Chain A
Amino acid sequence: MQHVSPIREPLVTGGKTYHDITEDVCRQVEAKPNARWAAALAVALVGLAIFIYSVYRTLWYGIGEWGLNKTVGWAWDITNFVWWVGIGHAGTLISAILLLFRQKWRTSINRAAEAMTIFAVICAAMFPVLHMGRPWLAYWVLPLPNTFGSLWVNFNSPLLWDVFAISTYFSVSLVFWYIGLIPDFATIRDRATGPIARRAYAFLSFGWTGSAKAWSRYETVSLILAGLATPLVLSVHTIVSMDFATSVIPGWHTTIFPPYFVAGAIFSGFAMVLTLMIITRKVFFLENYITLEHVESMNKVIILTGSIVGIAYTTEFFIAWYSGVEYEQYAFINRAFGPYWWAYWSMMTCNVITPQLFWFRKIRRSLTATFIISIFVNIGMWFERFVIIVTSLHRDFLPSSWAMFSPTIIDIGVYVGTIGLFFTLFLLFAKFFPVVNMAEVKAILKSSSEVKHHHGAAATMHATDKDLNSNTHRNE
């Protein structure tokens, strides 16, 4: 048994029992959809409809429907791609790295964060395909054996590395997430009353028995997957950054990009997790599981990564000046003072200045402040990618080709649409899947939670607690 410091804040509050956890988490799965959820889904579906329409226009008429031009060949498409991939990072970080570091506070948020990862990667993966001139040939980027002669993919191209990075990331994340869901599905299966629910969850739980052997395997697989996913947290965004870093374009051709992108990704990912968690805990009454302690921990990560990103911005400027390269210097001066200055200063304000407010404990622990700042960070990180991509391209080497980019309604539609897609998926997940990992929360309940006091005596772990390992006893 683990010793718990009396001064450390409890991870689960409200003196929950095992049974309470099951009840609290399964409630929204088993109950009728509540009005707030339905309203949110309706809004998300509108977004999804916008997405479908914009994608139809893009595919039917061509990329010309977007605002790109001969000089700016990527803009919102790749901005959105990097933004979504970045958002996904928090999920993996929480579930994999924090698992390896035995950070117990992760247990109540990892499920939702991983779901967010998967949905964000789905949104992200839309763009590399959609941005192609001939998306129906997208499979050509895979090294498939073919009858085209000696035709093969170009392993020099960072875009190809992207293909591998993103697909690996997505599959590992998906498996990791799903393995974690299995015991909880079994719980829901066991409680299910309706025949459809019972069958569906039975199928989803892969015949989970809850035997000690199953648990042991579960733990092992989790550890292995965490080990696999951990390098991915670093590698995916490193490779995404190489799309830019290996090019010759001033503002892209920067060796600082890999760490800077990874920090940025975690930064934006945690902001998105916070945005979602603050809503979810409210909507599904999970305040006792996702506590202020969680919010504060994540805010600390945000200060750290936000500061790394801030230093990266400054370093870029310094190096541009120090390099003595004309084009590099201009690229950075143009970022800050050129026609896209507003994008640059939005990025600076949102990413560098606002997170510094978290040095104040009060702000760190204020849900409202956290929510607002998390939105700021989300916006700022979108602008960061926009600044890198568009302001570097629009004025590169030959002034004769300098051009401006302005988005069309379809550009906006695709972006807003992926947000719709993301929330549609997330809301469906939140309704039909357990948003908190019950099994793992139960595992920490006795060691790091607030304990309810009965009759003045401290409660201890009772072997008679009827919900202990409830899912191992089908008939309970």
Chain B
Amino acid sequence: MQDRIKYWKGIEELENAPEFEKHAHNEFPEFLPVNEVEGGESSANGKTRRRDFLKLLGFSMAAVSLASCEAPVRKAIPYLNKPVDVEPGVANWYASTFYLNGDYNSILVKTREGRPIKIEPNPSSGLTPLGTSPKAQGALLGLYDTNRLRYPLIAGKEAKWEDVDKQIKSRLANVSGKVAFVSSTIISPSTKKLIDEFGARFSNFEHVTYDANSASGLLQANGGVIPGYDFSKANIIVSINADFLGTWVAPVPFAKQYIQTRKVDADNPSMSRHYQFETALSLTGSNADVRVPIKPSDEAAVVTALYNAITGQGAASGSAADAKVLAAAVKDLKANQGKALVVSGSNDPGVQAMVKAINSALGADGATIDTAAPYYVKQGNDAAMIRLIDEMNAGSVGAVFFYNANPVYNHPLSAKVVSGLNKVGLKVSFADRVEETAKFADFVTPDHHYLESWNDFEPKKGFLSLSQPAISPIFTTRQMQDSLLVWSDSKTDFYEYIRSNWRSVASGDFNKFWEKAVHDGVLENGSSLLKVTTTTASASTSVKKIQPAAIEAVLYEKVSIGAGEFINNPWLQELPDPVSKATWGNYVAMPRLMAEEMQVVQGDVLKVTFANNESIELPALIQPGQANGTVAIAMGYGRDLEAMPVAKGSGANAFPIATVADNTVLYTSGVKLEKTNATSPIAQTQTHHTIMDRIVVQESTLAKYKEDPKGVTEYIRLATHEGPAKPATISLWDDYEYKNHHWGMVIDLNSCIGCGSCTMSCNVENNIPVVGKAEVLNRREMHWMRIDRYYSAKEHEEKDYAEMEHPADNPSVIFQPMLCQHCNHAPCETVCPVAATMHSSEGINQMVYNRCVGTRYCANNCPYKVRRFNWFAYANNEKFGFNEPMNTDLGKMVLNPDVTVRGRGVMEKCSFCVQRVQLGKLEAKRENRRPKDGEIVTACAQSCPTEAIVFGDMKDPESRISKVLARQQGERAFHVLEELNTQPNVTYLTKIRNLA
């Protein structure tokens, strides 16, 4: 028998002490201090006395109930050693750059206690000094996305960087065949140089630039660069399917240029005329003076007609578009030699060659096109990518790297990409999460977020900028460039690499030069660093025939989602499309006529069958302005990935619309539509689209404005016994007296392009919750700043309300940013039973969240409907988990600590960024002066890329707002719903159109 190992309860048992023996048979030996607790010394016989028992009972009850009420423990750890540049409660600003797939913004990053919390435009920038794109604002949240990879992956499993490096290096050493580096457009001179150096180690290396939404044709026709379009110098702008204010090439710089030609006052009553020929109603088309819907198959014909008419080669005919408009455009273009610009969004080199020739013939080169400074923001080469796919399938590619490129998801030859990838020996992805292409990668080596990285940029020749880390890396990610340096056994890091690269453009002491460059974020002394492979411009004007189909579909980029990069970003998902006002998902935009023919109503689910016989199902949206016989679907949706929980269930992938023709990707093809029995409502933030002949937003024409600047705006007068009177002169109320400041805002409807940057900026600044598709459908989105978009109505009889509700088939569009009007006689203030909303001594209508009991009377009585109610708890509520900024610990880092996160049941609305007003006043007070004009800016005004919004002190006669108001009073300045005598502090300026 085996010896049993004996275990003792304790030393007592081993010693077998008598005391132990005595207790050994008790269930609870003497060690339990029962007696002490139950009475101990105090009791005579060691038993608990009744009084003690009651005391203990009472204590435990109290303790338990206290513990249950106790607030959850939150840890706040103070700095042991205060970092030099971090002052609690004081923001730090770092100059940086946001660039992704063409969207370039030179920015300032606002950080609080080391956390980036807001993006602002960098006023030092020559390209984007005024504002940012909505994407640049929203991309901030990506930094705090909990779904980012936190470590590198080897074959899908968590790994250590050392192992990754060792394995990749050894596999690269033995690589056979071609090594390909696939990236979207890289405008970083140092990165490009680094990739080239990295590639030099291999016998066969190619850096393939692949843009999901490419401008390959444009590049081919212009020798590998994008012409230096300068809209600011153009009197006549003709755009054929180019959404240059929204998504095409460099929208933010273009918007700034464009709007310079659109600002008018009575001294300078001139503005550009903008013709737009396009299929889907784009943001740019919405701003055009003359817009003609055309089918994609007619696009080449329109350009040909222009080409023929302008260059005089052949007859001006053969166009299916409105011949009259075309003739007018030609006439205008010809009359404005050197002051005209034609742009086209086509990806067909033939079409672009014609556009180039037209511009040359119009004398645009050197005038409206800066030939010395082309744009580099798109460099995608369709042919190279298609060739690579073929090579992969042929098995001749040994290694492939993917950086900001996801061809499995968004290339028209996706299936071939997948089959090709299976034949590549080494696949490395730098993706920040396991997306479609990264799924096939042997190694995923996640890149930093751009706010964690050093980088440099050259979006346009001679315009250099830098990005610097605004936070140390949150996860154990590594910047792509550093990875390449490690894999090429370099001892330096990318920061040093950039510095040494920049020495060639430095002057004087390099450290000083560098410090200034980092501080400013930009270097615009004309020096250039980026090496771009230029080619001979293809001058062939032979166009790729787009076969007319019964239903021609176009694939377009949505302003907020890009090519799918931002689909997991709840802010950008909920930012309404500037035109359709739809959120959370894509849809089939179809014209009314087609819908009526197919007996489709909005929300009916359609089966869309692409040329490759794949099909998707999407709801229909009746889109005025959509060319008849065509539909448009946004790219970037339909990504059902574990790493993108926010995107789950939003839309379907429409990339199969893109087809390859002759080594070029065309973003259009014929589709088949079938009506299914299902319906799926589209979450729009605006569901009524016409103005109903009301004077809430005003517009006029340039001709009228020239004739009589005082006649363009309608001012409502009330009838009194003494004749018509201004509403403000008939008042029941006493006026407020503003002794110090009187804050106000002017919004120029001529400058507003409707991009939504203000909405996004406001959301970030003011911690506005994301409510999700279901709640948007319930009409409960929380945006404080919205952009009302009205279509002109069909021709109708006066007072025929039923007819007025229908937008015209090709409507003119007007945008009206709408926010709290901060009325001096505010209807909301009088009705609140608890005085939770009141007027400040500086004209701001204030909302006191703590006092609000939530009767919603104020919202009902607001004629502008700008108040938003917290129907649910949006923070710390797992039902709203997609509202990451308020529901994940990491996401909460993005919240602005100066603004309360509102609780359930509370009303909220625009505060005129009162936290900024207070900060500006405090800083001025500290310096013993008055705030300077322009020092205090609201978030919306600050991020507007077209300076449509002016905020300031109306008591200061020297302020910009006072001057604008004085200038425009009686001409273009008006208040919305003036007849209600609410006396808003927000003034609008009438929109002027330059009709042909």
Residue B439 is within 8 A (CB to CB) of chain A in the complex: no
Would you call A63 and B687 a contact (CB within 8 A)?
no
> Which of A134, A243, A248, A393 is B827 in contact with, Cβ under 8 Å?
A248
Chain A residue nearest to B786 (CB atoms) is A400
In the assembled complex, which residues on chain A have CB atoms less than 8 Å from the CB atom of B816? 400
Chain A residue with minimal CB distance to B906?
A133
| Minimum CB distance partner of A250 in chain B | B863
Is A141 at the interface (CB under 8 A from chain B)? yes
Q: How far is the CA of A248 from the CA of B694 in the complex (A)?
A: 17
A401-442: CB near B (< 8 Å → 1, else 0) gives 111000000000000000000000000000000000000000
B688 at the A interface (CB under 8 A): yes
CB-nearest residue of chain A to B787: A400
Nearest-CB residue, chain A, relative to B719: A324
B870 at interface (Cβ–Cβ under 8 A)?
A: yes
Whether the Cβ atoms of B853 and A138 lie closer than 8 Å is: yes
Q: Are B779 and A133 in contact (CB under 8 A)?
A: no
Question: Contact at A397–B696, with CB atoms within 8 Å?
Answer: yes
Residues 486-501 of B, flagged 1 when their CB comes within 8 A of A and 0 if not, give 0000000000000000
Name which residue of chain A comes closest to B775, CB basis: A64
User: Smallest distance from the beta carbon of B875 to chain A beta carbons, Å?
Assistant: 12
A74–B859 Cα distance when bound, in Å, is 10
Query: Nearest B residue to A73 by beta-carbon distance?
Result: B856
Residues of A within 8 A of B864 (CB): 397-398, 401
Can you show 17 pairs from A to B with CB atoms below 8 A apart? Answer: A62-B905, A63-B905, A68-B871, A70-B779, A70-B867, A74-B860, A141-B833, A141-B834, A154-B835, A159-B832, A249-B861, A397-B865, A397-B977, A399-B691, A400-B788, A400-B790, A401-B864
Q: Which B830-883 residues have a C-beta within 8 angstroms of A?
A: 830-835, 851-857, 859-861, 863-865, 867-873
- Taking A71-B779, A400-B816 as given, write out 11 further A-B residue pairs in contact, using a Cβ cutoff of 8 Å, ordered by the A residue number: A70-B867, A74-B856, A132-B854, A133-B904, A247-B861, A248-B980, A337-B801, A399-B688, A400-B688, A400-B788, A402-B688
Chain B residue at minimum C-beta to C-beta distance from A160 = B833
Residue A70 contacts which of B853, B863, B869, B980 (CB distance < 8 angstroms)? B869
Most chain A CB within a 10 A radius of its CB, from B788, B855, B863, B864: B855
**Separation in Å of the A223 CB from the closest CB of chain B?**
35
A398, B873: Cβ atoms under 8 Å? no
Asked whether B686 lies within 8 Å of A133 as measured between CB atoms, the reply is no
User: B872–A398 contact, CB under 8 A?
Assistant: no
Tell me the bound Cα distance from A398 to B686 in angstroms: 11
Q: Is residue B987 contacting chain A, with contact meaning CB distance below 8 A?
A: no
CB-contacts of A116-152 with B (<8 A): 128, 131-135, 137-138, 140-141, 151-152
* Residue pair A247, B831 in contact (C-beta under 8 Å): yes
Q: Which residues of B contact A326 (CB under 8 A)?
A: 693-694
* CB closest residue in chain A, given B779: A69
CA distance A396 to B802 in the complex (A): 16
Interchain CA distance A110-B825 in the complex, whole Å: 47
Q: Are the C-beta atoms of B856 and A396 separated by less than 8 Å?
A: no
CA distance A330 to B799 in the complex (A): 9
A151 to B863: give the CA distance in the assembly, Å: 27
Assuming A69-B778, A141-B853, is B831 touching A159 (CB within 8 A)? yes
| Interface: B789 (CB within 8 A) | yes
- Identify which of A63, A133, A135, A246 gathers the most chain B CB atoms within 10 Å of its CB: A133
User: What 9 pairs between A and B have smallest CB-CB spacing?
Assistant: A133-B854, A133-B905, A64-B871, A73-B856, A69-B779, A400-B788, A401-B865, A154-B835, A159-B833
A57-90 residues at the B interface, CB under 8 angstroms: 61-64, 67-71, 73-74
Interface residue count for A (Cβ, 8 Å)?
Answer: 52
Q: A69-B780, A71-B779 are in contact. Are A152 and B835 (CB under 8 A)?
A: yes
**Contact across chains for B861 and A133 when beta carbons are under 8 A apart:** no
Q: Is the CB of A137 within 8 A of B853?
A: yes
Which chain A residue has the least Cβ–Cβ distance from B689?
A399
Contact B833 A71 (CB under 8 A): no
Contact A133 B688 (CB under 8 A): no
B835 touches A153 (CB 8 A): yes
Q: Give every chain A residue within 8 A of B904 (Cβ-Cβ).
A: 62, 133-134
B851, A246: Cβ atoms under 8 Å? no
In the complex, the answer to whether A399 meets B692 with C-beta atoms within 8 Å is yes
Residues of B in contact (CB 8 Å), total 59
In the complex, B239 has a CB within 8 A of chain A: no
> Does B767 touch A at the CB level, under 8 Å?
no
Which chain A positions have C-beta within 8 A of B872? 61-62, 64
Interface centre among B696, B790, B802, B856 (most CB of A within 10 A): B856
Interface string of A209-220 (1 = CB under 8 A from B): 000000000000
Q: Chain B 875-915 against A: per-residue CB contact (8 Å), 1 yes, 0 no?
A: 00000000000000000000000000001111100000000
Interchain CA distance A132-B855 in the complex, whole Å: 5
- Structural contact, A133 and B856, CB atoms closer than 8 A: yes
Q: Would you call B871 and A157 a contact (CB within 8 A)?
A: no
The answer on a CB contact under 8 Å between B687 and A403 is yes
Check if A46 is an interface residue, CB within 8 A of chain B.
Answer: no
| B779: chain A residues within 8 A (beta carbon) | 69-71, 403
Evaluate contact between A131 and B855: CB separation under 8 angstroms: yes
Which residues of B sit under 8 angstroms from A460, Cβ to Cβ?
A: none
Total cross-chain contacts (CB, 8 A): 167
A354 within 8 A of B: no
* Chain B: minimal CB distance from A430 (Å): 35
B residues less than 8 Å from A159 (CB atoms): 831-833, 855, 857
A132 touches B853 (CB 8 A): yes
Contact of A157 among B691, B693, B786, B857 (CB under 8 A): B857
B833 touches A163 (CB 8 A): yes
A159 nearest in chain B by CB position: B833
**Does chain A have a CB within 8 A of B347?**
no
Inter-chain contacts of A401 with B (CB < 8 A): 686, 864-865
Interface: B781 (CB within 8 A): yes
Tell me, yes or no, whether A310 is within 8 Å of chain B by CB: no
A133 partner residues in chain B, CB cutoff 8 A: 852-856, 869-870, 904-907
B834 touches A140 (CB 8 A): yes
Nearest chain B CB to A401 CB, angstrom units: 4
Q: Do the beta carbons of B865 and A71 come within 8 Å of each other? A: yes
Q: Is A333 located at the chain interface by the 8 A CB criterion?
A: yes
Within 8 A of A (CB), among B672-704: 686-694, 696
List which A150-185 residues lie within 8 A (CB) of chain B.
151-154, 156-160, 163
Is A334 interfacial (CB-CB < 8 Å)? yes
* Chain B residues whose C-beta falls within 8 Å of the C-beta of A132 in the assembled complex: 853-855, 905
Within 8 A of B (CB), among A243-260: 243, 246-249
* Chain A: CB-nearest residue to B907: A133
Contacts of A62 in B (CB 8 A): 870-873, 904-905
Q: How far is the CB of A438 from chain B (nearest CB, A)?
A: 43
Q: Which residue of B lies closest to A393 (CB)?
A: B860
Quote the shortest CB–CB distance from A417 to chain B (angstroms).
20
Asked whether, in the complex, the Cβ of A140 is within 8 Å of the Cβ of B869, the reply is no
Contact yes or no, B833 A153, CB < 8 A: yes
When C-beta atoms are compared, the residue in chain B nearest to A131 turns out to be B855
B321 at interface (Cβ–Cβ under 8 A)?
no
B696 cross-chain contacts in A, Cβ below 8 A: 397-399
Select which of A160, A163, A399, A403 is within 8 A of B790 by beta carbon: A399
Complex Cα gap A154–B831 (Å): 8
By a CB distance below 8 angstroms, the chain B residues around A334 are: 801
Kindly list chain A residues whose C-beta atoms are within 8 Å of the C-beta of B802: 337
**B865 with A399: CB separation less than 8 A:** no
CB distance from A56 to the nearest CB of B (A): 15
Q: Is B818 an interface residue (CB 8 A)?
A: yes
What's the Cα separation between A152 and B831 when bound, in Å?
Answer: 14
Q: Chain B residues near A333 (CB, 8 Å)? A: 801
Q: Is the CB of B835 within 8 A of A249?
A: no
Q: Which residues of A contact B869 (CB under 8 A)?
A: 63, 68, 70, 73, 133
The answer on a CB contact under 8 Å between A398 and B832 is no
In whole Å, how far is A407's beta carbon from the nearest beta carbon of chain B?
Answer: 12
Contact across chains for A70 and B852 when beta carbons are under 8 A apart: no
CA distance A326 to B694 in the complex (A): 8
Which chain B residues border A135 with CB–CB below 8 Å? 853, 905
- Which residue on chain A has the smallest CB distance to residue B867? A70
B775 proximity list for chain A (CB < 8 A): 64
* B837 to chain A: closest residue by CB: A154
